[in-house]
Chain A
Amino acid sequence: MFMHVFTYRLKCLLRDYQSIFWTLLFPLIMATFFNMAFSNLNSAEAFNPINVAVVNNEEYLQDGSFKTALEKASTGDGRLFNLSVVSAEEADQMLRDNIIDGYIIAGRPIKLVVSKSGLNQNIIKSFIDNYIHTVSVFGTILSKAPGKLQDLLNDINNRVNYVKEVSTTSAEPDNIILYFYSLIAMSCFYGGFLGMREVSDIQANISPVAARINTAPVHKLKTYLYSSAASIIIHLAEMYILLAYLIFILKVDFGSKTAYVLLTTFIGSIAGFSFGAFISALVKKSEGLKVGIIISVTMLCCFLAGMMNQDMKYVISKNAPVLSYLNPVNLLTDAFYSLYYYDTYTRFFTNIVMLAAFIAVFCSGTYLIIRRRKYASL
């Protein structure tokens, strides 16, 4: 009996191009767009040498130490500036054309001319401030201990780097990947469409197919489980195709714990399916309304899990942690995130256990609603 129901259900579902589109092709297309749009996003916060000009006037040529300091900051790989030495008019023109972020006029005091106050402008200012500070230190020390000039000049050339970089974890804090994680979570919950159909197709008052199936002398729970198995197999295959596409083609980093990533996807797929089944059992209205509810609940959860704006996820987890545990999409996204980013498994397993609890609630809810339904007339 199992093989019979299972095979025919499989054939039925594979010919339903619309649900195949939404559960498989749509996530794949979205992943491609995400990749195209976001691949360069990290460069937005990366540091590139700042374009600066200095006015080539008498003061600049005279002030040897400032000239040296500026030139030193503009050479080498880790340099701070791309420096051009130009006339005052040229500098003005370059600033107006946005070629440079600001230009410096040497003298006492040293002057900086900018057209807006951004981070780059602040870095130029900090650099000049630092120079001014060093000059001031020389003054203070020489007034207290004259004759130290040579020592000071030596010290100034032995600048030490006082900051030691320590890495947080083995993974880089690359926050673009979170978009892909929430995309998988969304696709898992689109599996709800399959779950919805399974429940609709065994309730004789909802669809004619169900009416036919109900007349067959097979236990209803068995029919439901067998045909659900077909749905779950299809959805799981779709999710693994998506995962493979993300990992092998788009090169999204999932960390090194591959077995756990597969497990999370499996649980996510079941959670999505049972969610759809539960909604379908709960809402005894048209299919359009069920689809509407599944889509809007999924989208709301995705939004709260940070699919549209990542800060949302952080804000909720800080201010309303309960909400982030009651949002199955967030649990799923967070499970992938903790696998990627944390070295410990505590948060990962918390997420998985919570998801399992959701699955249990959805499944038992569905069962309690649709069991022992009898129809006097159809």
Chain B
Amino acid sequence: MQVFKLCLKILYKNKGLMLIYIVIFLAISIIMSLTAANDSPTDALFNPVKTTIAFISEDDTPLINGFKEELARVADFADIPDETEALQDALFFRQVSCILRIPAGFTAEFMNGGNARLEKMSIPNSVKNVHIDLFIDNYFNTAGIYVQNMDGITQQELVTYLKKDLSGTASVEMKTNGKKTSNLTFLNYFFNYFAYSLLSIIILGMSTLTLIFNDRDLKMRNNCSPVSSNSMSMQFILASLAFTFISWLIMVILCLLVKSGSGFSVNTVFLIISSFVFAFCCSGISFLIGNLVKSRDAITAVTNVVALGMSFISGVFVPQEFIGSSVLKIASFTPAYWYVKANNTIAGLNAFTFDAIKPVLYDLLIVIGFGLAFFSVSLAVRKRNRSFA
């Protein structure tokens, strides 16, 4: 086991560098997951969802004040100065989903049954605006009915009537599928980012090893030793698996420490298992890259392209449901796609019967298949390289 021991010694000597890699990528994963996973957990009660909008009124009347009060049930008002650029910025960066402007003289025209209109600037075809539109139209149509049918109604009366009429609501029953207490969004995102962070760490770490072993003089010295080349390859693979396992373990433990408050569920165990399977596959990829690429600079380039590229197209950075189907088809030729798919399924699991986890096992088997394929190709490459040496 000389080769194996040597590998571990080299890695141990570079432990500072390895730890820096692990800490940097772990920090990136945690920051990204925390920003991404900010949606609310499933509650047992129905919560009204409010949309943030900008409300600018140039018409200060009881009707408009009453309207704003009612609108507050479906909307939060953002405090944005009435300047073109500030409003445009807020819309562009999705701080508000629309800007509502009540033009001067709106109320007077409305009370006379005229052609009064609110002005709205919005993100085109946004689902949040449908909700707001529905509310505004309902309010003024209802008010319109009063204006048309009750002659001489004052604004105050109108607002009082509307307030009473609009207080009735439908009763809502929540039927959650079983009990779903822990919020898995963070862990789901975190383990998805694993595809990027773990892959980068393992490629960078393993390349340190392979670069040393690929040194021409060293290689010739090793080749004339009485250790068979097969045994050498196997020990090398063993070392790369050991390195992978240690980095994986450190990252999982640190992640669980960060998120220790949220409880530990069966889903978490499954996520950890799936990340372990993916780590095996990463090990295969790094072994292949280490055998194909010769210089240190090229390895940095390849790491970036492979890790970033795979993560972008297979749903690590952008959830899979938002990626076009043709892109996902391409992505299905990479292991990260199947890994992310398995994670997303796991996060949605409520029951752990064999039928429920079958799709997860299927996805993970594909990931293992990818891993084995990478290792076999690397062995073939090594054999070819040796015959050239």
Interfacial residues, chain A to chain B (CB-CB below 8 A): 18, 21-22, 26, 29-30, 33-34, 36-41, 43-48, 80, 92, 95-96, 109-123, 125-130, 132-134, 136-137, 140-141, 144-145, 148, 151-152, 155-156, 159-169, 172-173, 175, 308-311, 313-314, 317, 337, 341-342, 344, 347
8 contacts between A and B (CB under 8 A): A37-B313, A116-B174, A122-B74, A136-B164, A155-B149, A159-B141, A162-B116, A309-B35
Query: Contacts A129-B138, A140-B164 given; 14 further ones with Cβ under 8 A?
Result: A40-B323, A41-B322, A45-B126, A46-B125, A110-B170, A119-B131, A125-B46, A125-B169, A132-B169, A159-B141, A162-B141, A163-B120, A173-B91, A347-B85
Task: Report if A169-B127 is in contact (Cβ < 8 Å); known contacts: A162-B117, A163-B137, A164-B118.
Answer: no
Q: Are A47 and B130 in contact (CB under 8 A)?
A: yes
The listed residue with most B CB atoms (<10 A of its CB), out of A29, A33, A34, is: A33
Bits for B228-240, please: 1 = Cβ < 8 Å to A, else 0. 0000000000000
Which one of B120, B130, B164 contacts A166 once the chains associate, using CB atoms below 8 Å? Answer: B120
Choose among A114, A127, A151, A162 the residue that contacts B140 (Cβ–Cβ < 8 A). A162
A29 contact set on B, CB distance < 8 A: 305, 309
Contacts of B93 in A (CB 8 A): 175, 310-311, 313-314
Please, how many angstroms separate the alpha-carbon atoms of A156 and B145 in the complex? 8
Chain B residues within 8 Å of chain A by Cβ, number? 83
B173 lies within 8 A of A112 (CB): yes
Q: Which residues of B contact A118 (CB under 8 A)?
A: 49
Cβ 8 A contact of A125, one of B32, B120, B170, B330? B170
Q: Say how far B162's CB is from chain A's closest CB, in angstroms.
A: 8
Complex CA gap A166/B88 in Å reads 12
CB contacts (< 8 Å) of B214 on chain A: these are none
Task: Indicate whether B43 reaches chain A with its CB closer than 8 angstroms.
Answer: yes
**CB nearest neighbor in A for B120:** A163
B349 contacts partner chain A, Cβ-Cβ < 8 Å: no
Q: Is the CB of B88 within 8 A of A173?
A: yes
Question: What 0/1 pattern do residues 296 to 317 of B give for CB contact below 8 A with A?
Answer: 0100010011001100110001
Main secondary structure of the interface of A (DSSP, over half): helix
Known A-B contacts A160-B141, A347-B85; the reply to A119 vs B127 at CB < 8 A is yes
Question: Which B positions have Cβ atoms within 8 angstroms of A?
Answer: 32, 35, 42-43, 45-49, 51, 74, 85, 87-95, 99, 101, 116-131, 133-138, 140-142, 144-146, 148-150, 161, 164-166, 168-177, 297, 301, 304-305, 308-309, 312-313, 317-318, 322-324, 327, 330
| Residues of A contacting B176 in the complex (Cβ-Cβ under 8 angstroms) | 115-116
Say yes or no: A162 contacts B170, CB within 8 Å.
Answer: no
Q: What residues of B have a CB within 8 angstroms of the CB of A109 in the complex?
A: 168, 170-171
User: Could you tell me the distance between the alpha carbons of A127 and B135 in the complex, rounded to whole angstroms?
Assistant: 9
Q: Contact partner of B308 among A33, A40, A344, CB < 8 A?
A: A33
* Min CB–CB distance A157 → chain B (angstroms): 11
Asked whether B46 lies within 8 Å of A163 as measured between CB atoms, the reply is: no
Tell me the minimal C-beta distance from B313 to chain A in angstroms: 5
- Does B136 lie within 8 Å of A163, measured CB to CB? yes
A164 touches B120 (CB 8 A): yes
Query: Are the C-beta atoms of B128 and A95 separated by less than 8 Å?
Result: no
Closest chain A residue to B117, Cβ basis = A164
Among A36, A47, A111, A172, the residue within 8 A (CB) of B171 is A111
Q: Is B136 touching A162 in the complex (CB atoms < 8 A)?
A: yes
- Is B142's CB under 8 angstroms from A137's CB? yes
- Contact status A152-B149, CB under 8 Å: yes
Given A96-B177, A314-B93: A130 and B172 interface contact (C-beta under 8 Å): no
**Do A114 and B148 contact each other (CB < 8 Å), given the known contacts A46-B127, A80-B130, A123-B130?**
no
Find out whether the CB atom of B161 lies under 8 angstroms from the CB atom of A140: yes
Q: Is the CB of B175 within 8 A of A115?
A: yes
B172 touching A111, Cβ below 8 Å: yes
Q: Would you call B74 and A126 a contact (CB within 8 A)?
A: yes
The listed residue (A44, A144, A313, A314) touching B322 by CB distance below 8 A is A44
Is the Cβ of B323 less than 8 Å from the Cβ of A114?
no
Q: Which residues of B contact A130 (CB under 8 A)?
A: 134, 138
